Every structure is written in structure tokens, then in C-alpha cells.
Copies of this chain bind each other. A is one copy, B any other.
Amino acid sequence: MPENTPFAPPGAAVDLEEGTAFTPKFGADGLVACVATDARSGDVLMVAHMNAEALAKTIVSGEAWYFSRSRKALWKKGEASGHTQRVVEMRVDCDQDTVWIKVEQIAGACHTGRRSCFYRAVPLGGEGAVTLEFRDDRVFDPAKVYRDRS
């Protein structure tokens, strides 16, 4: 059980699916997945993870907080870049192990400088090696926004 959680533990499948109690089902790593979409365009901006503390902070503040699996640290989206996400709506899925937030994204969500992390298309219909197609240009210069970033 993660620390600092205001959430009750998940119950049986019928309670998770048809109940009104929010009992997020954190994985063995203490995380739920979170999909952030652009509240205006509907585009998927990013997929990241939240521990109980990040999820609680997001609910209370209405700003997106995540938990970095690589850095093993809580982070507020935009704390380094200023590119915060104001949460317009939060949804949870049937088995309560994934949340979806519709957000107002400042500038871009992706550390590469694009609006969305999903800036390349995977062509369909082919077998074997696949060549990605770039679809989105940068909306900011990551070298200027992130200092000391490797």
C-alpha cells in the first residue's frame, strides 16, 4: 500500500466496475496509468503514471501531478518548463487501474518540444520494418526550456 493515500483499497470486480467508491487499483509498483488528452482537440498528449500521492494532489489541486518511474520521484507537470496541465475533467476506467484526464495544456506536453508525445504515425498495412512518419512540428525549443537536461 502506498504511503499518504486517502484511497480505500479496491474491492471485488463488481464494486470496482459498478460502484461509486473511487478505489484506484494501484499496481505492484504502486502506480496507475494516466492518459492526458487535450480538452480542446481531443488529441492524446501523453501517457504517464501516478502514485497515490500524485493522484491525490491532482484531484485536490486540479493540476496534473505524476510519478516518474525513471527518476522515482513525484513531479508536477510543468514544474521545470512552465508547461502545466490544468485538469478539466478526470475519468476512471472500469477496473480502476487507469485514469483519463482532459487538460488545458500550456505550450506542449512533450519534452521534445511537440504539443503531443505522439508526433509520429506508424503506417498501417505493411509487414516487416516500419518507417515512422513525422506529423507534428515543435511548438517550443526544448534546449531553451530545459536547462541542464541530458
User: A residues within 8 Å of B by Cβ?
Assistant: 6-8, 17-22, 33, 35, 37, 41-44, 46-47, 56, 59-60, 62, 87, 89-94, 98-100, 110-112, 114, 117-135
The distance from the CB of A3 to the nearest CB of chain B, in whole angstroms, is 16
The distance from the CB of A107 to the nearest CB of chain B, in whole angstroms, is 15
Residue contact A122 to B62, C-beta cutoff 8 Å: no
The distance from the CB of A98 to the nearest CB of chain B, in whole angstroms, is 5
Oligomer: number of copies: 2
Residue contact A47 to B22, C-beta cutoff 8 Å: no
Question: Which 5 pairs between the two chains have the least Cβ-Cβ distance?
Answer: A42-B42, A91-B118, A22-B130, A93-B117, A90-B122
- B8, B33, B93, B131: the one contacting A20 at CB < 8 Å is B131
A42–B42 Cα gap in the complex (Å)? Answer: 5
